[in-house]
Amino acid sequence: MDEKGPDKPRAWRRVRLSRERRREQILKSAELLFAGTGLRSTTTAALAKAAGISEAILYRHFGAKQKLFEIVVERNTQQRLAGLEGRFSSIPDLPPLESIDRMAEATILACADGEGNASVMVWALLEMPEFAADVYRREIGATEAMWDSEIRNRFEDPAVRTPLAIHLVPYVVHACMAFGLWLVTLRHKPATAHAHARQYAEGVVEAARMVLRFCPESLVAGARVPADDGACRVSWSIGR
């Protein structure tokens, strides 16, 4: 029994976190605030209060508020890429157009739903456009690399793999990420975001279907290859 007696509560003690854990705590709470009010409208007092620390400790870890915001934006991007990788890994082996359908939906939802929600990136593009554009370009490049890897691993036939990688992936990545940002900007709830992503993915499938009806050589020359041409016959046989 406590020497102070059963009716006397123990003195409350603040738990001292390691520097790494304290930093992670600050980043998590800061991301929630920045996602709601952006950089300029979020005060250091609010950031410190949300993390349960003093402003002095906040400055000790991150210095200026803008520096904290930049770290949060880059961290948010990495979370989104990790989330997309997880979404891709959960897609089973499917025919080409069904795979593209699922991958497009996953790319949109990686921006609009879950831990990688891109609200912070939207604010960054508005309030720190040069910094945010650089981070966003790197995210596009990483996402394109993930798409290329998925197509390479999923589709063995060069008649399928090559035209998709060359003529579809750059378009799809830019379009799906931009659409995800649009959903976030309009503050769609998960249910409506999923519905819009599903519908948009269907449009991506139609684009993929058209790509597979052409040979790369015909696109370079600007002329369509007839459907009965042996080089393109495999493309016409691919159904959804």
Query: 182 phi and psi, to 5 degrees?
Result: -60, -45
Do 95 and 46 belong together in one domain?
no
Do 206 and 116 belong together in one domain?
yes
Q: Is residue 7 part of a domain?
A: no
Do 144 and 102 belong together in one domain?
yes
Do 147 and 127 belong together in one domain?
yes
Rounded to whole angstroms, the Cα distance separating 136 from 77 reads 8
At 234 the pLDDT is 37
pLDDT tens for each residue of 62-86? 999 999 999 999 999 999 999 999 9
Q: Quick one: 238 exposed, middle or buried, by C-beta within 10 A (0-12, 13-18, 19+)?
A: middle
Do 36 and 85 belong together in one domain?
no
Q: Is residue 85 part of a domain?
A: yes
Q: Could you tell me which residue, 224 or 236, shows the higher pLDDT?
A: 224
Q: Is residue 48 part of a domain?
A: yes
Q: Is residue 33 part of a domain?
A: yes
Do 129 and 220 belong together in one domain?
yes
Instruction: Look over the chain and give the mean of its residue pLDDT values, rounded to a whole number.
Output: 85
pLDDT tens for each residue of 208-226? 999 988 754 433 333 343 4
- Considering its fold, how many domains does the chain have in total? 2
At 15 the pLDDT is 60
Residue ranges making up the domain that contains 79: 73-236
Q: Is residue 1 part of a domain?
A: no
